[in-house]
Chains A and B, each alone.
Chain A
């Protein structure tokens, strides 16, 4: 049997907080008519629900993958989570009989598919000539797509943005789909995100114009990439959606060893893919870094960088005008962190301005500030010099930040964006990191 998980690991799989609570209340022996586990890592159970017949839940720990007969559209559903919690508590008998037929058929089907998938993995170095031809084709497609995007953007401004409020999501989904066809997924993502801007309250016209303007800047930059210095060209290409293979990043960059403070992290979800953004800062070099990890919804995100600790590690940065994204090459040691040194608001604005000069599309920048939160005129943080920056509306009420501060200065780490500061971590009076 697979090594038992702890509850934290199970709960990290939950799609939201209500699912966690529902799973807790189901994770008692009373709800389950039967449970079992078998080699190499299968769990199953029948759980009483509102329907006449019990729900049948199966979990394959490798993956993990889930199957449940309940009608929930959440994934994984509360039954699968509750079954995992029971197992984590040691309440599922491990050397049970063979799984019942309804579980066994799904498990065997999965094992078969997994075998085929491994066999059919696309081999890496194809014929170099074919690879070169494909790359060329893609460049041509992207160039055509960007030409099209540029015309579309100009059309919007020619006809007037006022019409956007009646346009509906399809308006942006169509052009985003065109960018997918043109193999420019980075642009597609940016475009889809724009659909909500016309409903984002006062000032939406300005925000939409900013985004359109930066998109045209990106299109023009790509079409004239030959004139750009190489790091800026890499920035442009990565924002459009050309991804570098990790091996190429590692081959092209020098490892930077430092005690990387794990400042904070933010999980985002789009198109059933979860992205974890973990912000780091070197204690010696002072250098900011961003580690990204991805997982399909229902799968475990990388958890090796714990907020509030330091990682003695070698990082390799992706190339770019403002190298930020990095791969953790080797983690030598995990150390007790302690609060990072907070900057002033003037210092943050200066460092962001300098970074923007290199990468004009940069819209999130790590901030570590010694500040006091305030409520008025808008929720904000304010430093000892009396300078203040608003909090990002999307971050919610930020009550935790207020509770930790109690009206006194605290060290806060977060993402600075053109829409305000998105606070991620605060250090309390005992110097302990509190995830916000």
Chain B
């Protein structure tokens, strides 16, 4: 309607310098008692046209979007979806990766309406965590890929759907890693050959990535590659390889570490009953360094601190069955043996070993011990407990904890229990889905 534009133009210039255009709406008579002021006439005509235009607005046209492919994976239950929403809104945000990988493992997908928030979160995390992006893309399924086609901020989602050799030959670092991880899950031997064939030509970042991929469910077949990596020219590769070997059951590195460890710690029977005696190593030799042990940090520290550090490093890399075998006791029984001033070091060392080796029995025993006895005085005790409750299988640890006096517990213990319960409920909700679907 051009008359409306004429009115707008006249009002923009002002009725002092322009003429008010006439207006007619079909079926509406011109009012007889029009005001004298041209400005008032203009406003009255504009009011008439405004309402006529609003009431008579014609519909527009829009270009339809292609529809997303149907997703074969079922959606998680409403309860699980609510929990994902809570995590995305800031409650225990560090558990997002676990929620996603638990959903992916169970073949479930995240609810569609949470995908924008999920993809935004995955985009914001630094590319240093490609795992979160991969999991978000996978849990988001075809709907996430469809959204990524509409919003370039989420392009990373489509990167994970590059399939086959293309991802390896043409992809960026994240895609190559995704390809290799998938290949390893499907055919570990082929993945190993691919790594071995590419090792010498690969740069340091890529060699770190190779070791990272092997960290996912390592087997003794990986040992030669990893053992060779202990002599790599890049320090970070050496360190990572040592970490992976330390948690590989039956590895030669584990055996070497066990021999060192058994020389450091023994049980003694005294008048007051059995207790733990520690005789830590005095120095860090070249062989220990090759196996990933870092020498005591800083020369200014006391000798005792240096020894404690070495003891912790050794215990953290020692296969846990070394202790149960040598002492003939369970994890719980070993923890019950008084260790005097060494208790905090042992707690942290065993905790690191239990987390690396994913030993549920030890993790559960360590958590119960920390909660029952209050935390050991070591400054890293609270942080260690924090990590333990995020890695233990909550189905083992959570039901055993009975306390109705959360408020009177030390804050670190209280937080630990909250996290355990949160994770317990979270995995249970996803399992319920799984059995139902």
Q: Which residues of A are at the interface with B, using a C-beta cutoff of 8 A? A: 7, 11, 17, 20-25, 28-30, 32, 89-94, 150, 153-155, 157-162, 205-206, 209-210, 212-214, 216-217, 220, 345-346, 349, 352-353, 356-357, 360, 372-378, 380-382, 386-390, 397, 399-400, 402-404, 406-408, 418, 426, 428, 430, 432, 434
Contacts and interface: CB of A to CB of B under 8 A. Distances in A.
B113 A428 contact: yes
A403 B12 contact: no
Interface residues of B, number: 65
Q: At the interface, is chain A mostly helix, strand, loop or mixed?
A: helix
B5 to A, nearest CB: 8
A44 to B, nearest CB: 14
19 contacts: A24-B93, A25-B93, A91-B414, A92-B407, A93-B407, A154-B39, A157-B11, A157-B39, A160-B16, A209-B7, A216-B47, A349-B59, A356-B55, A378-B62, A397-B151, A406-B112, A406-B146, A408-B68, A428-B113
B11 A160 contact: yes
Given A25-B90, A30-B412, A372-B65, A356 B11 contact: no
A332 to B, nearest CB: 26
A196 B151 CA distance: 28
- Return the 6 tightest CB-CB contacts between A and B, nearest first: A29-B411, A160-B14, A21-B90, A407-B67, A387-B59, A213-B46
A20 B89 contact: yes
Contact of A382 (B46, B64, B408, B412): B64
Interface string B26-69: 00000000000111101110110011001111011111111110
A428 B112 contact: yes
Given A23-B90, A374-B65, 20 more contacts: A7-B86, A24-B91, A32-B411, A150-B40, A157-B15, A157-B43, A160-B13, A205-B11, A210-B50, A220-B44, A349-B59, A353-B55, A356-B54, A357-B55, A376-B63, A399-B151, A402-B147, A402-B150, A403-B112, A404-B113
B70 to A, nearest CB: 9
A154 B42 CA distance: 9
Contacts of A205: 8, 11-12
B89 A24 contact: yes
B406 interface: yes
Contacts of B415: 28-30
Given A32-B411, A399-B151, A388 B59 contact: yes
A418 B12 contact: no
B78 interface: yes
Contacts of B101: none
Given A24-B89, A154-B40, A399-B116, A209 B46 contact: yes
B143 interface: yes
B418 interface: yes
A29 B419 CA distance: 12
A318 to B, nearest CB: 22
Contacts of A388: 59-62
B4 interface: yes
Interface of B: 4-5, 7-8, 11-17, 37-40, 42-44, 46-47, 50-51, 54-57, 59-68, 75, 78, 86, 89-93, 111-116, 143, 146-147, 150-151, 382, 406-408, 410-412, 414-415, 418
Contact of B62 (A154, A352, A376): A376
Given A91-B414, A157-B39, A375 B59 contact: no
Contacts of A430: 75
B11 to A, nearest CB: 5
B66 A407 contact: yes
B113 A434 contact: yes
A424 B133 CA distance: 29
Contacts of A381: 62
Nearest to A24: B90
B184 to A, nearest CB: 32
Contacts of B51: 214, 356, 360
A402 B436 CA distance: 28
A377 to B, nearest CB: 7
B147 A399 contact: yes
A430 B406 CA distance: 39
A372 B64 CA distance: 8
A402 B412 CA distance: 42
Contacts of A377: 62-63
Contacts of A209: 7-8, 11, 46, 50
Contacts of B47: 213-214, 216-217, 360
Contacts of A23: 90
B359 to A, nearest CB: 27
B90 A29 contact: no
A403 B89 contact: no
Nearest to B9: A205
A414 B55 CA distance: 18
Most A CB within 10 A of own CB, among B90, B92, B146, B382: B90
Contacts of B14: 157-162
A154 B61 contact: no
Nearest to B410: A29
A158 B13 contact: no
Contacts of B406: 89-91
Contacts of B5: 206
A213 B50 contact: yes
A17 B89 contact: yes
Contact of A89 (B147, B150, B382, B418): B418
B407 A407 contact: no
Contacts of A345: 59
A388 B61 CA distance: 5
Contacts of B44: 213, 216-217, 220
A236 to B, nearest CB: 13
Given A29-B415, A160-B14, A407 B113 contact: no
Nearest to B49: A213
Contacts of B15: 157-158
A341 to B, nearest CB: 20
A370 B115 CA distance: 22
Contact of B50 (A157, A214, A403): A214
A176 B249 CA distance: 77
A403 B147 contact: yes
